[in-house]
Amino acid sequence: MLRKSRAVLAATACILSLTVFTDAANAAQRFFLFNNNTSSLSDGRPRSEVRLKSGKVRLAPQFKRQVVAYNSKQSAGTIIVNTGEKYLYLVLGDGQAMRYGIGTARSGFEWSGTHRLSSKREWPGWTPPAEMKRRQPGLPNYMPGGINNPLGARALYIGSTLYRIHGTNEPWTIGQNVSSGCIRMVNADVEDLYERVKIGAKVIVL
């Protein structure tokens, strides 16, 4: 009888531990969100004063879309990405620019240069580059566009590079060095930028 009781207790402990493991795995999966050029595990906690409340994204005041004074020799319609400041500026002319908060490349993936927008896409699909798949073998071969896609609602493709200005399903990462080179924006901002710029616009990344 004692042996049977011990067996029952052991079986119960095994089931409980399996349940805890499964719950932890499911929780990790729920927080698993793809980085724009790599995969990452998010702990789900808002950063950079971003707050997710009632389905709305709340950014720190400095990262909210706004018209600011901005003197530039570039013509209206030019995109200037200041990775150090974590801002993207769309030159409006007359000493003004539309300023957006952005997320930029993490250490080791920084880049700079001048290019042109080569294309624009709404709810783009995502095909991880071969070198990324070598680093992260678990990535899918292709991910269709949609709210769970790491490219978000819109993507603006920069010249012949692999880099894009795109939306994100991790809005709390705005203001951080988080990507593998792409410039990320909250979906509402990238939608706004998408409507304002034309294919062929100059893109300057500082």
Would you please indicate which residues are annotated as catalytic (active-site) residues?
A: 166, 182
How buried is 92 (Cβ within 10 angstroms: 0-12 exposed, 13-18 middle, 19+ buried)?
middle
**What are the pLDDT digits (tens) for 158-188?**
999 989 999 998 889 999 999 989 999 999 9
**What are the pLDDT digits (tens) for 22-70?**
333 333 333 333 333 333 323 333 333 333 333 466 788 999 999 999 9
Predicted pLDDT of residue 121 = 96
- Arithmetic mean of pLDDT over the chain: 78
pLDDT category of residue 4 using cuts at 50, 70 and 90: very low
